[in-house]
Structure 1
Amino acid sequence: MEEAKVTFYRFDKCGLFEYGAEESKLGELHDFLNQLMVWVQRNGKPLDETCTYAIEESEDVSRTFCYDIVKNGVTGDFLLTTWNETPSYEGKVAAVNSKGKFGEAKVEFTKLPKDSIPGYATYFWIVPSKNVFASIRFQHVLNGKKNFDKYFKEFISKFSEYVVLGKSETSDFQIIGYAEKEDDDPLNLYAYLKTSILRKPGQTDYIVNNFPKIRKITRHNCLSPKLASSQDLWQKALQGLGLKKQKKLNSDVNFSYEFSFKPSKDELTEMIKEWEANHDSKWDDIGFTLTGEQNPRWLSNSLARDTFELDVKRVNDEVVDAQSILDQVTEKRDLILALLK
């Protein structure tokens, strides 16, 4: 048995759209997923050919690959395993000695095996009949959801069966439009994918409706040494304790602080929106204490999220077998989907 952290998201929009339209012109969620299965399996495609996009310098998302995808023929559910690339340099990955002296800690480089892609696996249970999907986390803090959004949107845009290609002398292929059938005239459409974390009604609505009663805000946060903002907050916290000499944050630290604050309705809405868009760690949370109440009302309690014990099989220390995950969530389908109510 392994502990699996399940968080649900909603597909708000998914498909190929005419400009200005609210409804998709071509494609349904289950169609694109079936097409993705066919595409990744076509002609014995190697893993490094399953990424659907190139990285632009201005983007903060890494390459994502399809490690595996399986389907349950009865429920129509899918389990997608993605491989998310992590940074490397000339075939090496860097690591710093956590016990090293500040400013002098030794950095060592480990050479990667030939043709390898450093990274980590993430898992998504997609339920087209409910128009939702769930990230399933085992040992990692990051759930890869941002990468999933980009990966799937770019697949729809470039590699779905509705793509109509033209001839180009300057690129490998040129998309001239989209069509449902081969003989149809290509349409001028664009791929659009919008997803959002799934909230249960009640808790957040209560907080927003009673914003004038908020007297205190508590923040639980998991500080990561990989994030500059975490390093800054860590240094300020140490200075607040009277420590003038800087001490570098070298490992994840659970960090909690509270303060008296009465946000406006717009400020509160912005705080909730930012938290829903960017929180990944289970420990990351914001609580609002209202006048007449002793305990905070936590935003995490409003999410369709919980932890379940799943009897899954591991391929290795990093990867969990996709079919075993799908079998387990299918067996406990009603229990897990109860989070949506």
Structure 2
Amino acid sequence: MILETATITFYRIHKCGYYGYGDLLPAFGNCAEMLTDLASWAEGKSFKQTKTYEGNDEVLPTYLLDMKRADDNVVLLLWNEVPSTDQSVPSVQADAEFGESPDVILNSIEPGSIPGFATYFWFVPSMNLVASIKLNHALTGQKAMQVYLHSFLKQSSSHVVAEMTDQADGTYDIVIKGYKVNPDDDSLPKKKHRPQFSVGLVRNPGKHDFIRQRANSVSKIEKIVELDVSKAEDYSLWQKLLIGMRVSQAQSSDVSTKIKYELSPEVDIDDINGMIDDWNDNHDTNSCDYGFTFSGDSKTYWLSRSLARTQFPLNLERRNAEFVTSASLLNELVGKRELILREAGV
């Protein structure tokens, strides 16, 4: 066991289940049921079979490595795929089994393995909360987690009613006909429902109001951006910045790199609101933050300080440079649950 400092950020689960058009509450399904269903679905599957969606320019595929539960606490260990490159990034064999704590390949990518990085999430269904647990990576994978679980509800849960249709070329397509209320009953309700899963950061808006009230006395603004270099746009910006700094040596990065810049502009309340809106719109505020310094006050006030977030020491069993065991993480979260919730302000 080793003592590690985890950054724990809480999100409120706004929607989870199957909803009628325009409804604010689910007609059926909830977070606890979804997680139980997910564990049953993943049981016996290989690592590569736990993918619930195909990647695109916005989010690459995600896989379920492990899942552990203790009463009202559930830990998800996800694997976030990154593009295959010549860099030495961690990878996992595609035929590893769910829940078997697969070995991670820390050298050059081997054939049949999937390069990526691990992310951890702690669900507390009774409180409609989920927390990202950041250990040795800057990225939390929160957006990918949302896409993963929404896609599971959409096409893989026990509520899905689907049929296979033959194609002219001998292949087949799977067509989703709808969603049944009772997983044991194949009949579809007359009313159509759609799956939804969405979360939002737990915030203390009063801290942002403090910054707004002092908009006319801003002396300096800092911005920190975490670039995801697996994305072409972020990678291009990073390379341009290196060129601008006259860095001639070839540079490589694991999955992310951080940049920080500061200005001393004249701003008004509209500018401040625009920055707060930009920060609020960012799906992963670990990758974007604004800091404000005011005349006569040397302290920097960061937008992220309004979040339900805490840094907490956890005794964890680390299998290698990439993974800690889900069991040790769950055990620590359960034992320190009340302390962590109180520290984070939720």
Paired residue for 2:49?
Answer: 49
Cα deviations by residue, 1:222-268 (Å, 9 ceiling, x for unpaired): 567663223334444x3xxxx5x866654577654322234444432
Counterpart residue number, 1:214: 218
User: Partners of 2:306 and 2:219 in 1: how far apart?
Assistant: 20
The 1:143–1:224 alpha-carbon spacing in structure 2 relative to 1, beyond 3 Å, is closer
Describe the SS at the equivalent of 2:165. coil
Distance 1:265 1:191 in 2: 39
Partner amino acid for 1:191? P
Separation in 2, partners of 1:224, 1:321: 25
Question: Structure 1 residues 7 and 184, CA, compared in 2 at 3 Å: closer, same or farther?
Answer: same
| Root mean square deviation of aligned Cα | 2.6
Unaligned runs of 5+ in 1: 97-109
Greater shift after overlay, 208-217 or 174-183? Answer: 208-217
- Tell me the distance in 2 between the aligned counterparts of 1:160 and 1:113: 32
2:66 is matched with 68
Secondary structure of residue in 1 paired with 2:132:
strand
CA contact (8 A) 1:18 1:188 kept: yes
Corresponding position: 1:155 with 2:152: yes
The 8 Å contact of residues 62 and 80 in structure 2, kept in 1 or not, is answered as yes
Do the aligned partners of 1:235 and 1:247 also contact (CA within 8 Å) in 2? no
SS of corresponding position for 1:69: strand
1:229 corresponds, among 237, 240, 258, to: 237
Correspondent of 1:82 among 78, 81, 85: 78
Question: Could you tell me which residue of structure 1 aligns to residue 5 of structure 2?
Answer: 3
Separation of aligned partners in 2, 1:255 and 1:46: 38
Q: Give the C-alpha shift of residue 142 in structure 1.
A: 1.3
Per the normalisation by structure 2, the TM-score is 0.80
Q: Deviations over 1:27-58 (max 9, x none)?
A: 111111111111111xx2111110001224xx
Instruction: Tell me which residue corresponds to 1:297.
Output: 301
In structure 2, runs of 5+ residues without a counterpart are: 89-106
Rounded to whole Å, the distance in 2 between the matches of 1:270 and 1:28 is 35
1:3 Cα deviation (Å)? 1.9
Aligned length: 311
- Aligned residues of 2:316 and 2:325 also touching (Cα < 8 A): yes
Instruction: Find the residue that maps to 2:53 and give its secondary structure.
Output: coil
Deviation at 1:116, TM superposition (A): 1.6
CA pair 223-115 structure 1, distance change in 2 beyond 3 A: closer
d(CA) in 2 for partners of 1:253, 1:139: 13
Residue number in structure 1 paired with 2:181: 180
Q: Which residue is equivalent to 1:189? A: 193
- Asked whether the equivalents of residues 285 and 304 of structure 2 are also in contact (C-alpha less than 8 Å), the reply is no
Take 1:121 and 1:159, find their aligned partners in 2: how far apart are those partners?
A: 22
CA, structure 1 residues 49+255, in 2 after alignment: closer, same or farther (shift >3 Å)?
A: closer
Change (3 A) 1:54 1:234: same
C-alpha distance in 2 between matches for 1:156 and 1:23: 16
Give 1:56-135 correspondences, 5 Å limit: 56=56, 59-73=57-71, 76-88=72-84, 93-95=85-87, 112-135=109-132
CA distance in 2, matches of 1:136, 1:208: 30
SS at the partner of 1:301?
helix
Equivalents in 2 of 1:51, 1:39: separation in Å?
11
Q: Deviations over 1:90-134 (max 9, x none)?
A: xxx4139xxxxxxxxxxxxx8643422111111001111121111
AA aligned opposite 1:340: G
Counterpart Cα distance in 2 of 1:152 and 1:233: 36
Q: Shift in Å at residue 326 of structure 1?
A: 0.6
Of the structure 1 ranges 227-236 and 122-131, higher mean CA displacement relative to structure 2 is found in 227-236
Name the stretch that deviates more: 170-179 or 284-293: 284-293
Residue 151 of structure 1: CA displacement? 0.3
The answer to whether structure 1 residue 316 and structure 2 residue 320 are counterparts is: yes
Asked whether the 8 Å contact 2:124–2:130 carries over to 1, the reply is yes
Q: Which amino acid aligns with 2:134?
A: R
Please point out which of 25, 28, 33 is paired with 1:26. 28
Are the equivalent residues in 2 in contact too, given 1:223–1:255 (CA < 8 A)? Answer: yes
Q: Note the alpha carbon deviations across 1:211-232, whole angstroms, 9 max, x for none.
A: 3443431224456766322333
Match for 1:275: what amino acid? Answer: W
